[in-house]
Chain A
Amino acid sequence: MADLVIENLEVHFSGVVALDGVSLNVREGEVFSLVGPNGSGKTTLFNCISGFVTPLGGTIDYGDLDLLSKPPHSIIATGISRTFQNLQNIPYMTVLDNVLLGNHSRIGNRETVRRWISRRQRELEEERALEVLDFIGLANYEQKYLSGQPYCIQKLVEITRALVSQPKLILIDEPAAGMNDQETMEIAKIIGEIRDYLGITVLVVEHDMSLVMAVSDRVCVFDSGNVITIGEPAEVKAHPEVISAFLGESVVA
């Protein structure tokens, strides 16, 4: 079974403790959410998984693969793709090209050369990307340049890009940040569909509790680099430490 198993992960940034011995376990086929205040180490955990940050100690295993031994560009080959908290798109490329970029690791050199020559091969490549765009609901945007598109569209393009490589696990970093309620619900629906129809495990970082509660199978609450609790949404909501430390007085009052 390809579970993501993280054990005793420790990350320090010049003396500041970002992750303090974090252990958690993402099971295949679930939507797993990480919540916590800013600076609690959620994104750092993502960066460790995708190889941008090398931890001081601990292990990250995906199935029987040791992720920490791999350079960032090899992570996607293990079946893990991700989006970013701040948009990391290519503004002067079309939406379709941005999505095709996600396919990078799946195209071999010979295929690349074949596509220089054969129009049919190029169309095949595009058809697959268009299917995914359709799935996300961006079918009309394929030829538009990304620069100047609304934030919400750009965010969705990033998710599409992460999906097109047919991953087994997708890391989504704050999908609802900067979106209105309606867009947030849209995202929630898409996350559910990714799991239900594509069978992809989803690990999501999010601030918006309504989204988290709506989509998650399990939730993990972070504070200052420590895991406070892991459990189903209802359990977590009721956890006293979570209420005082994170959900705050508004819930109590």
Chain B
Amino acid sequence: MKGRYDEENLKWIAPLIILVIVLPFLLRGATFSYRYYLYVLNIAGIYTILTVGLDLLSGYTGLISLGHAGFLAIGAYTSAVLVDQAGVPFGLSLIVSPLITGLFGILVGFPALRISGMYLGLTTMGFGFIVRRLIIALRTWTEGSAGLEVSKPVLFGFTFANDWHNYFLIYLFVIVVVVFARRVMKSKIGRALMAIRDSEHAAQAVGINLVRYKLFAFFLSAVLAGLAGVLFAHTMRFISTDHFDILLSIYFLIMVLVGGVATIYGAVLGTLFIVLLDFLAIPLFKDWLASFMAVQVADIQSLIFGCIMFLFIIFQPMGLYGMWLKMRIYWKLFPFNPKIKQT
């Protein structure tokens, strides 16, 4: 029997995990401001957990969501309230809060049974707004729009006190989520979701219950967003409605698109790429631009992100991960097949 893809992937996972573990040490050795870079990496890690979930929903199942910042907010606020006000231990909240977020996911999933495409995008976007209003309305627990301070994560008596600790906590979950998602998507469930995206008729003919699987996709996606939210709240330690802007939902979708839809790895690459660009590269670019134009260019983020998405959709619809696969095939066959054919 020929080797399957998921067996092959395992070869890449071990070195990657080692890189993830060694990276903070390298950073600490290389720069004084390693905590700043760790913070940026932590954000990327938290967003990765969410975008992997978004990839399950929008990439695999083809259900566009522009409301994932809303799920992130629900996870974050639920955990903040449970841990700090109801006295639930952080470890338990790591399980309960994502599940509660998942229930909201099912709720949002119901309209998706009837509508799709842009209309679904608008509906989920509306959900994002509703969550914001809800947080403001429930000011007894959430302190309205003033924002909420959140306690540090405590697991088995160990307090994750700084970015260094948080990094390992977050990336433990990133690795688990990525491996898990990859596995699930290579199984019956992943095939069913892709079938729903490409042909609802074929899906039903092979016995896939559309209602159940669409709701499941929303549930799973929201659970991962909720998990990201819990980590977000306790590692960032302050959450407010300003954090969960509608623009963030759009950025999440861009991350998945740029990385390459329906591959999981694409979501990881896309998130890293966009977050590093947003936090590290664009500020440098802005400074450089300001140095000879003598003005601050407003909203250059949106401009750059828009261009990147545009270029990717036109020239590289398979995303960053697709580029990587092509490169790998190229080197494998080198020098016998320098002209790459589309797989």
Name A residues whose Cβ lies closer than 8 Å to a Cβ of B. 50-52, 71-77, 81-82, 84, 88-94, 97, 100-105, 107, 112, 115-116, 119, 122-123, 126-127, 130, 142-143, 145, 148, 161-162, 165
Say how far B313's CB is from chain A's closest CB, in angstroms: 16
Chain B residues 1-43 with CB under 8 Å of chain A are 1-2, 4-7
Contact A90:B206 (CB < 8 A) given known A101-B192, A116-B183, A116-B187: no
Tell me whether A97 and B191 are in contact (CB under 8 A).
yes
Whether a CB of chain A sits under 8 angstroms from the CB of B140 is no
Tell me whether B201 and A52 are in contact (CB under 8 A).
yes
Provide the residues of chain A in CB contact with B116, threshold 8 Å: none
Provide the residues of chain A in CB contact with B157, threshold 8 Å: none
A165 to B202, alpha carbons, bound, how many Å? 14
Tell me whether A93 and B194 are in contact (CB under 8 A).
yes
Provide the residues of chain B in CB contact with A105, threshold 8 Å: 206-207
Say how far B69's CB is from chain A's closest CB, in angstroms: 28
Tell me whether A73 and B1 are in contact (CB under 8 A).
no
Contact A116:B184 (CB < 8 A) given known A52-B201, A88-B202, A148-B342: yes
Say how far A164's CB is from chain B's closest CB, in angstroms: 9
A51 to B206, alpha carbons, bound, how many Å? 12
Whether a CB of chain A sits under 8 angstroms from the CB of B188 is yes
A215 to B54, alpha carbons, bound, how many Å? 48
Chain B residues 168-202 with CB under 8 Å of chain A are 180, 183-184, 187-189, 191-192, 194-195, 197-199, 201-202
Provide the residues of chain A in CB contact with B191, threshold 8 Å: 90, 93, 97, 100-101, 104
Tell me whether A145 and B195 are in contact (CB under 8 A).
no
Tell me whether B198 and A90 are in contact (CB under 8 A).
yes
Whether a CB of chain A sits under 8 angstroms from the CB of B99 is no
Contact A92:B204 (CB < 8 A) given known A101-B192, A116-B183: no
A100 to B186, alpha carbons, bound, how many Å? 11
Provide the residues of chain A in CB contact with B4, threshold 8 Å: 122, 126
Residue of chain B at shortest CB distance from A145: B343
Tell me whether B188 and A112 are in contact (CB under 8 A).
yes
A143 to B197, alpha carbons, bound, how many Å? 21
* 28 A–B pairs (Cβ distance < 8 Å), ordered by A: A51-B204, A73-B208, A74-B207, A81-B205, A82-B205, A84-B201, A84-B202, A84-B205, A88-B201, A89-B202, A90-B195, A90-B197, A90-B198, A90-B202, A91-B198, A94-B5, A100-B188, A101-B191, A103-B188, A103-B206, A105-B206, A112-B187, A112-B189, A115-B188, A122-B6, A130-B1, A142-B2, A143-B2
A72 to B203, alpha carbons, bound, how many Å? 9
Tell me whether A104 and B208 are in contact (CB under 8 A).
yes
Contact A90:B194 (CB < 8 A) given known A112-B188, A112-B189, A116-B183: yes
Please report whether the interface of chain B is mostly helix, strand, loop or mixed according to DSSP: helix
A119 to B3, alpha carbons, bound, how many Å? 12
Whether a CB of chain A sits under 8 angstroms from the CB of B120 is no
Provide the residues of chain B in CB contact with A104, threshold 8 Å: 188, 191-192, 206-208
Say how far B188's CB is from chain A's closest CB, in angstroms: 5
Provide the residues of chain A in CB contact with B209, threshold 8 Å: 71, 73
A126 to B183, alpha carbons, bound, how many Å? 15
Tell me whether A52 and B192 are in contact (CB under 8 A).
no
A5 to B316, alpha carbons, bound, how many Å? 52
Provide the residues of chain B in CB contact with A84, threshold 8 Å: 201-202, 205
Whether a CB of chain A sits under 8 angstroms from the CB of B246 is no
Whether a CB of chain A sits under 8 angstroms from the CB of B148 is no
Residue of chain B at shortest CB distance from A47: B201
Whether a CB of chain A sits under 8 angstroms from the CB of B122 is no
A195 to B14, alpha carbons, bound, how many Å? 48
